[in-house]
Structure 1
């Protein structure tokens, strides 16, 4: 993949992520914060972004979203295709809920 194409893909992902995050925050702030893994400060910043600020932020060459899991157990639980999928995904959600939301440093 060419470098310019990769940057375009990152920008597209960033824009989609930011638009989704804003929509989720408008619909159900508490649930959105939990699902996005963000704290109140980040939620307020995202919620207040104008369209121009959102597009400018999305144009970054850095991926703004990230995986919320950093261990093998959760990755396996989320990717495992079993008949007990609802229980497995619930267990993974409980484990991820125990991880603190990201803070602005």
Structure 2
């Protein structure tokens, strides 16, 4: 049986993502929930996982993290942002955050 060479990379990425998520949640829960686009229940679960559980979860052959943009166009707006570099990170954050606001029924964001 031939194994997919990407499975080890997926596991490594998943573990890094899970460890970062836990660190962010322990540092500033509200900010982490916003950045990770997760709810209270998911935040509680992530912070409660042991090292063994994190390792087991990371070992899935599916990526646990995903692109924050709703569409390729939204991601393209972040990448091709012509705004002044001093404000580009703020504009990018607003574009990426608009997805979670819309999915929670927060209304229309331009």
The residue correspondences of 1:16-95 to structure 2 (distance < 5 A) are: 16-80=16-80, 82=82, 84-95=84-95
Report which of the two structures shows the higher radius of gyration computed on alpha carbons: 2
Deviations 1:17-74 (A, max 9, x none): 0000001111111111111111111111000001110000000011000001022443
CA distance in 1, matches of 2:18, 2:66: 12
RMSD over aligned CA atoms reads: 2.4
Contact 1:21 1:46 in 2 (8 A): yes
- The structure showing larger relative contact order (alpha-carbon pairs under 8 Å, at least 6 residues apart) is 1
Whether the aligned pair in 2 keeps the contact of 1:10 and 1:61 (CA below 8 Å) is yes
Structure 2, unaligned stretches of length 5 or more? 105-110
Give the total of aligned pairs.
102
Report the alpha carbon displacement of residue 87 of structure 1 after superposing the two structures with TM.
2.7
CA distance in 1, matches of 2:81, 2:98: 24
CA distance in 1, matches of 2:20, 2:60: 17
Gaps of 5+ in 1: none
Distance 2:14 2:40 in 1: 20
